[in-house]
Copies of this chain bind each other. A is one copy, B any other.
Amino acid sequence: MSEQFPLPSQTSSSNYAIIVAGGSGTRMNAALPKQFLLLSGRPVLMYTLEVFSRSDAKPELILVLPQSYHIYWKDLCRAHNFNLPHHLVNGGDTRFQSVKNGLELLPDEALVAVHDAVRPTIDAATIDMSYQVAADKGSAVVAVMSRDSIRRVTENGSEALIRDEIYLVQTPQTFQATLLKDAYNVPYRNNFTDDASVVEQAGHSINVIPGNYQNIKITYPEDIAIAELLLKQKATL
């Protein structure tokens, strides 16, 4: 089910990060899944793994990737001299199943951050805050307030929602491991759009912590250039 690549981790951290790279690239008009697209010449996924390894939390890294891409990923690691230790786990048919596969590697006493592979511009300070808050309160879900007015559109028309109450949820979403494992011990449901929704359905409340707008999710081809720009801005801070 899992293997360690490129070499077994030597850490005994109780912090883990599950990096979910489930996408098969259907929305990018590209044969290549988004996590492999090049950001200033290097695959998106490498930036994402690196920022977690740079954080003070120094989590043990669990990369969940469709099995059909494991060899390709190893080739990429060799080609780019990417030597960051990480576990490699098979992805599932859904994001839910992918995370569930990653959870199997976790001891109960751990903290675990679940993060989208296609959010390479996350900053280490936010990652660290998420572990700190999750240690204290059980969960820490990174989110930003909406800049735009918000409208709920249904078959019966649309209605304005109260903007100040609406948060756009990002990742990382960080939890005490037992909490998250228990919550995932259910069948898949359609409204499981993120880990917070799974934990909430299990009856737990969710702590939201402030993220920032630079933590973008690479969803469309145009986003690659924006991510490159954001990484350059960070590098010059």
**A167 near B153: Cβ-Cβ < 8 Å:** yes
A153 CB, min distance to chain B CBs, angstroms? 5
CA distance A12 to B24 in the complex (A): 52
Stretch at the interface among A83-91, A100-108, A191-199: A191-199
A96 CB, min distance to chain B CBs, angstroms? 13
**B169 near A165: Cβ-Cβ < 8 Å:** no
Does A126 reach chain B (CB closer than 8 Å)?
Answer: no
**A200 near B159: Cβ-Cβ < 8 Å:** yes
Give the residue of B149, B208, B222 whose beta carbon is less than 8 angstroms from that of A193: B149
Give the residue of B151, B170, B193 whose beta carbon is less than 8 angstroms from that of A143: B151
Q: Which of A149, A170, A208, A214: most chain B CB closer than 10 A?
A: A149
Does A163 reach chain B (CB closer than 8 Å)?
Answer: yes
A234 CB, min distance to chain B CBs, angstroms? 10
Stretch at the interface among A39-47, A59-67, A223-231: A223-231
A–B complex contacts, Cβ < 8 Å, 24 sampled: A141-B151, A143-B153, A146-B168, A147-B219, A148-B217, A149-B168, A149-B169, A149-B193, A149-B197, A150-B166, A150-B168, A151-B196, A151-B206, A151-B208, A152-B161, A153-B165, A153-B167, A154-B165, A158-B167, A159-B200, A213-B219, A213-B220, A226-B229, A229-B229
